[in-house]
Amino acid sequence: MKKVILMLLIISMLIGLFGVVNAAKKVTIWCWDPNFNVAIMEEAASRYQKLHPDVEFEVVSMAKADVEQKLNTILASGVKRGLPEIVLIEDYNAQKYLQSYPGSFADLTREFNYKEFAPYKVKLMTLNGKVYGVPFDSGVAGWFYRRDYFEQAGINPEDLKNITWDEFIEIGKIVKEKTGKYMISGDPYDGGLMRILLHSAGTWYFDEKGNPNIANNEVLKDALKIYKELFASGIMKETSGWNEWVASFNNGEVASVVTGVWIIGSIKAEKSQTGKWGVLPVPRLDLPGAVNASNLGGSSWYVLNNSENKDIAIDFLREIYAKDIDFYQKILIERGAFGTWLPAQNGYAYRAEDPFFGNQRIFLDFSEWLKKIPSVDFGLFTYEADGAIMGVMPDVYNGNLTIDEALKLAEEQFKNTLGF
């Protein structure tokens, strides 16, 4: 028996050693979403391999929450082995990682010409004058609508290019009445739309100094009012989670979708709806400084400082993400990935007419809206603030709390979470 145990221990050590052996020139990449980021990274990798056949790539596909969990664990425990070379980080989280794990991400300031990238993206990854990432996709928001339903309701899309959310709700009621379709769909406890509303007014949950700005935030008050109104008016189909949401527009239950440009892949997945969709600028809040342009999501690539093949990884990102115009055309057409490397936006794909969207040159429009997006500093605590606000939403919906009271409570909660 002792021998068996001894054997087990020896075997365990041996296998354990194999656990971290790496090929000489291997670049490991962690990212989420197999149909988007993962597929795009694989495309990029195969392009790089044509130039450098000796470099191996492993693109690991995980759930977004898992990427974040792993990154936190590995960085917090100070482990130096088995690090991926490249990770995808959502823009909302960028400063959180940069400021929580100083020195863990490679300083790329001198490696890239950042003037060629969309300035708002670069700003999000800058800390103390140094730039730490390679900007990837934009979450420029659009109002995707069903041409056929709008026509049926007697609404001319040309009149909708500069409307407010209040008008949006009124139109939604007409659509509901005339066609029986919901205007939009969504999860009443998801903060996605909230972020679109805030961003379009150039505001966030914090002021310039990073202090909470919730209880007296006029934009936020308006946003909460719209949330409540959307559900109360009956024009919003409630869905739980991503899948039901996507299903609601794929099966034709809703007349429009307000979200980031990255949704195009999911909308186009329903081929029977070809020619029936169009895109408009998002509605704006009825407040000074609010514009008909916004953003939801978007993420960027970061290189880990202690990873084995850091230099190869940087070279790879430079060769593809800051040089290959054709690559950007391909991922735009195939995946709907709207890159933020500006030279790529002169390429053919950005001007092409899309038959699925009734031959609208949608990406030309998105390029225009991209330029209008107000610059916002997301700070470190977007998810904490989101959580605090969604925690009071049940009482807002059922009228137990007025919006002012709810936001006051949310701010208190937010401060408690942070330990201010």
In angstroms, what CA-CA distances link 382 with 200, 330, 388, 410?
16, 32, 10, 13
Q: How far is the CB of 343 from other proteins (least distance, A)?
A: 29
Q: How far is the CB of 51 from other proteins (least distance, A)?
A: 25
Among the listed residues 54, 30, 53, the one whose alpha carbon sits nearest the alpha carbon of residue 41: 30
Of the two residues 343 and 394, which places its CB atom closer to other proteins in the complex?
Answer: 394
Of the two residues 65 and 288, which places its CB atom closer to other proteins in the complex?
Answer: 65
Q: Is the dihedral of CA 390, 236, 186, 220 positive or negative?
A: negative
Q: How far is the CB of 150 from other proteins (least distance, A)?
A: 24
Of the two residues 19 and 288, which places its CB atom closer to other proteins in the complex?
Answer: 19
Of the two residues 24 and 65, which places its CB atom closer to other proteins in the complex?
Answer: 65
Of the two residues 318 and 408, which places its CB atom closer to other proteins in the complex?
Answer: 408
Of the two residues 295 and 367, which places its CB atom closer to other proteins in the complex?
Answer: 295
Q: How far apart are CA 19 and CA 107, in angstroms?
A: 29
Q: How far is the CB of 81 from other proteins (least distance, A)?
A: 7
Q: How far is the CB of 102 from other proteins (least distance, A)?
A: 8
Of the two residues 240 and 359, which places its CB atom closer to other proteins in the complex?
Answer: 240
Q: How far is the CB of 79 from other proteins (least distance, A)?
A: 5
Q: How far is the CB of 154 from other proteins (least distance, A)?
A: 29
Of the two residues 60 and 352, which places its CB atom closer to other proteins in the complex?
Answer: 60
Q: How far is the CB of 207 from other proteins (least distance, A)?
A: 18
Q: How far is the CB of 137 from other proteins (least distance, A)?
A: 14
Of the two residues 33 and 365, which places its CB atom closer to other proteins in the complex?
Answer: 33
Q: CB under 8 Å to 126, separation ≥6 — which residues?
A: 132
